[in-house]
């Protein structure tokens, strides 16, 4: 296809180095000679892929519905140390702010131009894929070859299916056309009613109707209407064993939107909307008079506004990851001193103005100690107090948790306005440390129905605006002061609105199934196009399709972290390793450094070499004649609504579907855990084939050690039971053989002693906790609490256990336990323990295999949930094994909508 017009062509965004508009045959030949080698590696496979483990700042979760969550620091290897010069021993006596030193960044030499970031920056690269990751045994054939063959096979199958679907659709259209012409011959004036869709059955799971339909065809025919509305329970009764609701839960009618007829105008989201607005954070409480910020040894008196900002920094002194960051300090200090000046300055005890000029002279320790003591006090509350506080909070927030959307109750996602504080930002964000101001009602726009009662703003305030936009799905909106981004209060993930959004996303991916063959054929042809714009576009689509690269958008480097995707790749982000290996190394989504070493088609390798050709250098764009907008505009020529991000969902879902189909023959005589592992193995293979990886969590090794200890504990339990058999029937040693009674090889004496001490302490802890809980219940009901002497009596059980272990260790014999002990009873117990050990070994293997794979992310965001439901039904595994309660609520539409479609396919 031809490229876009010159007017729409992106300009060079860096050093003015723009690729030539046309690629001559001579240039092509020259590049072919330069890259020619004896043998190319199998293309389309990632050799090493995933986030790079390196020191990075603490970042925020995506700000959705007006609030943010702090991102877990579990994936960081250690805290960033910006303090290069001073030693810890010298620092202990100084205020934290006085200890900060900055170090200059190393200057890279010119020779580093084509060096991958991996060579320039320290960091642990992601591991290479191993045969075990995809359930293969190690042999002489390289894993890349196996993966390439598997991926090529899946793509070949996809092309064949796409061709079959299109042929069948074409045939169906001809039949409809013939029917129309026959009708016209008989009744020229009559018009055939089609309701805008072709009433044809689905072929291999793809519907013959508009791609954005909100209801599966199989359900449309059976929709029962009562006054134009769909009744939740009568339309399709819930089957037995679907999962029971708690009796305490209020029984609410479920809106089965997937059974409802499609709206004529899909852009209208609601007719009536009523909600109660948002919950604001509590007002700031001033510090006690004896708690002051100290500057150069002088306690300061500040205005309430300035004191609150000082408190933000003081309260987080233990988060050295942030407060030792020079950028964080600089931005905080600028905002803090500006507020101090604006609100009358800082005063000493005599009322004299103190000029705050150096951050290093500030001492926040008194503020930190105050807030830390408050936190400890909060943690020390009794269980009853915590429950009472939570109940009071829940009661206060209850009116805001739901809204009425076209007369039905829907859950609101996050109704709380984000509290003021210090901005963390993602990655090395240039604005980290700046003050996030308190949001007032005057900044908030409310979106609500015309006939609805507008929520009352806090006393003395008013809303910025009230609007009635029924094409928007947000309830409230405001603009934050750091980046000028808009924050929205939306419905919860389990709401029907979010469910319909998910459904459309996966249906769009299913729709791509029809067109994928033609798209791949076209971009493979355009990899050799004469026009540079066409060749760049084809290369970009290849990378997005084969390696799940995100499309990428331009960033404001001064105000936003420099994160990139395919279209915004720069010279330094791509390294070429002959014959056809490409290394991508850049800050990806969420500002996480992403490293991907891939084997590409030889023509793609040649194209990238051409796009990096001199005079291009560091800072220049690889795809300088392509933007994300142009790319997505081109993709819509194949299918309405198609964009680069749909490929990731399609590839993950189609690959999972193909892999699950191959499991049909394996479902016999397997335990539930073995079936779950089969599913997870497929999910893991999808992650490898589709490049969905994650950093190994810092706690993974500790978790695996804990699991190994639990397995050892069960083996020790087995050994004790076997010794009890000998205790009641010594002749069993001859019957079963002496070896059967021996201690497992992985249990040594040191471990046994440690394990016995653990079991004794565990018993003590259980008794103490139960004692404390019982006393809290007694106190709550006005009964007399138990005395400490009673606890001592209860703890005698643990003391007896300790004595028993000591006796066993000395005598090397274990006395039989329980009422009426028999060999048969003990053997039954051993069998149960064998099953538990087998299950735990499977779980351990599964967890180890998943350590570098974001199974949850791919399962929630990229793999069609209906595939999981179909697997659950066919393999007779409870859906709870795959979806948590939250996910079952989110994917209710997937679980319920294919009840009558056991043969559903992606």
What tokens appear for 215 in the block?
């209801």
What tokens appear for 636 in the block?
């819509």
What tokens appear for 416 in the block?
């709380």
DSSP string, 452-504: SPPPPPSTT---SEEE--TT---SEEEE-TTT--EEEE-B-TTSHHHHHHHHH
Rounded-to-integer distance, Cα 520 and Cα 538, Å: 9
Helix (H, G, I), strand (E, B) or coil at 273: strand
Beta-carbon contacts of residue 715 (< 8 Å; ≥ 6 apart): 744, 746, 747, 837
**CB burial class (10 A; 0-12, 13-18, 19+) of residue 545?**
buried
Closest CA to 54 of 82, 81, 76: 76
The values of phi and psi at residue 798, to 5°, are: -65, -40
Rounded-to-integer distance, Cα 39 and Cα 672, Å: 46
| Total H helices, total E strands in the chain | 27, 22
Tell me the CA distances in angstroms from 632 to 181, 625, 638, one per residue in order: 38, 14, 10
Rounded-to-integer distance, Cα 623 and Cα 796, Å: 74
Q: What angle do CA 882, 885, 891 make, to 5 degrees?
A: 70
Q: What angle do CA 97, 100, 104 make, to 5 degrees?
A: 155
What tokens appear for 478 in the block?
């405001």
- The DSSP secondary-structure symbol of 22 reads B
Is residue 310 within 8 Å of 367, Cβ to Cβ?
yes
Please say if 862 is a catalytic residue.
Answer: yes
Helix 865-874 and helix 496-526, axial crossing angle in degrees, nearest 10? 100
**CB burial class (10 A; 0-12, 13-18, 19+) of residue 703?**
middle
Helix (H) or strand (E) holding 78: none
Is residue 656 within 8 Å of 855, Cβ to Cβ?
no
Beta-carbon contacts of residue 881 (< 8 Å; ≥ 6 apart): 672, 676, 872
Is residue 687 within 8 Å of 853, Cβ to Cβ?
yes
Beta-carbon contacts of residue 732 (< 8 Å; ≥ 6 apart): 725, 726, 823
- Give the chain's length: 906
Rounded-to-integer distance, Cα 217 and Cα 226, Å: 20
Closest CA to 54 of 118, 7, 100: 118
Tell me the CA distances in angstroms from 59 to 70, 301, 311, 432, 851, one per residue in order: 7, 32, 20, 9, 21
Helix (H, G, I), strand (E, B) or coil at 431: coil
Rounded-to-integer distance, Cα 241 and Cα 872, Å: 13
Helix (H) or strand (E) holding 698: none
Number of C-beta neighbours around residue 121 at 10 A: 11
- The DSSP secondary-structure symbol of 802 reads H
The values of phi and psi at residue 725, to 5°, are: -60, -45
Which residue in this structure is represented by tokens 């990632």? 46
What tokens appear for 688 in the block?
């490898």
What tokens appear for 613 in the block?
């050709």
- The DSSP secondary-structure symbol of 860 reads I
Residues labelled catalytic = 862
């Amino acid at each position: 296809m031809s490229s876009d017009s010159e007017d729409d062509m992106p300009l060079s965004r860096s050093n003015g180095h723009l690729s030539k508009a046309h690629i001559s045959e001579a240039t092509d030949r020259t590049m072919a000679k330069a890259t020619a080698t004896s043998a190319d590696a199998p293309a389309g496979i990632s050799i090493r892929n995933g986030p790079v483990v390196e020191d990075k700042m603490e970042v925020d979760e995506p700000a959705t519905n007006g609030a943010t969550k702090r991102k877990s620091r579990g994936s960081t290897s250690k805290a960033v140390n910006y303090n290069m010069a001073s030693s810890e021993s010298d620092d202990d006596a100084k205020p934290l702010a006085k200890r900060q030193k900055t170090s200059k960044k190393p200057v890279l030499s010119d020779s580093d131009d084509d060096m991958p970031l991996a060579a320039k920056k320290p960091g642990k690269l992601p591991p290479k894929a191993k045969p075990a990751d995809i359930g293969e045994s190690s042999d002489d054939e390289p894993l890349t070859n196996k993966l390439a063959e598997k991926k090529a096979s899946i793509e070949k199958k996809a092309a064949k299916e796409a061709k079959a679907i299109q042929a069948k659709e074409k045939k169906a259209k001809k039949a409809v056309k013939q029917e129309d012409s026959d009708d016209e011959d008989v009744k020229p004036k009559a018009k055939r009613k089609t309701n805008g869709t072709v009433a044809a059955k689905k072929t291999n799971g793809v519907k013959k109707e508009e791609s954005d339909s909100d209801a599966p065809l199989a359900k449309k025919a059976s929709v029962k209407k009562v006054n134009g509305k769909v009744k939740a329970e009568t339309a399709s009764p819930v089957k037995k064993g679907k999962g029971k609701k708690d009796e305490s839960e209020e029984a609410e009618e479920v809106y089965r939107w997937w059974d409802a007829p499609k709206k004529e105008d899909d852009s209208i989201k609601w007719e009536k909307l009523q909600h109660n607005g948002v919950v604001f954070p509590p007002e700031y409480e001033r510090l006690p008079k004896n708690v002051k910020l100290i500057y150069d040894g002088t306690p300061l008196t500040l205005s309430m506004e300035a004191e609150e900002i000082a408190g933000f920094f003081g309260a987080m002194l233990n988060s050295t990851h942030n407060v030792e960051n020079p950028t964080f300090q600089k931005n905080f200090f600028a905002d803090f001193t500006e507020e101090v000046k604006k609100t009358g300055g800082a005063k000493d005890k005599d009322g004299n103005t103190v000029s705050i000029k150096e951050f290093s002279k500030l001492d926040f320790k008194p503020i930190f100690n105050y807030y830390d003591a408050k936190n400890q006090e909060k943690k020390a509350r009794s269980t009853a107090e915590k429950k009472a506080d939570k109940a009071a909070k829940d009661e206060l927030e209850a009116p805001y948790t739901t809204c009425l959307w076209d007369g039905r109750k829907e859950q609101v996602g996050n109704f709380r306005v984000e509290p003021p504080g210090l901005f963390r930002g993602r990655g090395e964000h240039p604005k980290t440390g700046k003050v996030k101001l308190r949001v007032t009602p005057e900044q908030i726009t409310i979106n609500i129905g015309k006939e609805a009662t507008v929520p009352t703003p806090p006393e003395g305030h008013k809303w910025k605006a009230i609007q009635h936009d029924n094409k928007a799905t947000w309830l409230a909106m405001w603009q934050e002061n750091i980046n000028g981004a808009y924050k929205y209060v939306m419905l919860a993930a389990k709401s029907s609105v979010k469910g319909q959004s998910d459904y459309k996303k996966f249906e769009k991916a299913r729709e791509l199934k029809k067109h994928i063959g033609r798209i791949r054929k076209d971009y493979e042809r355009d990899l050799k196009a004469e026009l540079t714009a066409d060749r760049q576009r084809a290369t970009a689509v290849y990378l997005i399709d084969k390696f799940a690269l995100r499309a990428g958008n331009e960033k404001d480097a001064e105000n936003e972290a420099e994160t990139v995707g395919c279209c915004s790749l720069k010279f330094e982000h791509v390294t070429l390793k002959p014959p056809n290996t490409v290394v991508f190394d850049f800050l990806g989504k969420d500002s996480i450094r992403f490293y991907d070493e891939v084997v590409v088609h030889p023509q793609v390798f040649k194209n990238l070499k051409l796009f990096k050709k001199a005079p291009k250098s560091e800072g220049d764009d690889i795809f300088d004649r392509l933007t994300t907008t142009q790319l997505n505009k081109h993709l819509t020529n194949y299918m309405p609504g198609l964009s680069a991000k749909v490929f990731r969902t399609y590839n993950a879902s189609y690959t999972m579907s193909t892999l699950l189909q191959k499991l049909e023959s394996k479902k016999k005589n397997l335990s539930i855990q073995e079936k779950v592992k089969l599913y997870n193995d497929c999910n893991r293979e999808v992650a490898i084939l589709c490049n969905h990886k994650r950093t190994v969590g810092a706690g993974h090794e500790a978790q695996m050690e804990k699991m190994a200890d639990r397995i050892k504990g069960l083996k020790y339990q087995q050994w004790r039971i076997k010794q009890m058999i000998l205790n009641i029937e010594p002749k069993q040693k001859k019957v079963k053989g002496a070896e059967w009674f021996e201690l497992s090889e992985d249990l040594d004496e040191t471990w046994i002693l440690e394990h016995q001490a653990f079991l004794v302490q565990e018993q003590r802890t259980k008794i103490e906790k139960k004692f404390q809980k019982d006393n809290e219940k007694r106190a709550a009901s006005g009964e007399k609490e138990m005395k400490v002497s009673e606890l001592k009596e209860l703890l005698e059980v643990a003391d007896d256990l300790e004595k028993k272990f000591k006796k066993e260790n000395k005598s090397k014999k274990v006395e039989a336990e329980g009422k009426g002990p028999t060999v048969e009873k003990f053997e039954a117990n051993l069998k149960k323990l064998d099953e538990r050990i087998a299950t735990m070994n499977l779980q351990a293997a599964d967890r180890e295999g998943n350590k570098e794979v974001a199974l949850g992310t791919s399962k929630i965001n990229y793999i069609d949930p209906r595939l999981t439901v179909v697997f659950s039904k066919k393999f007779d595994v409870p859906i709870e094994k795959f979806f948590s309660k939250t996910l079952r609520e989110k994917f209710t539409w997937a679980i319920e909508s294919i009840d009558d479609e056991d043969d559903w396919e992606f």
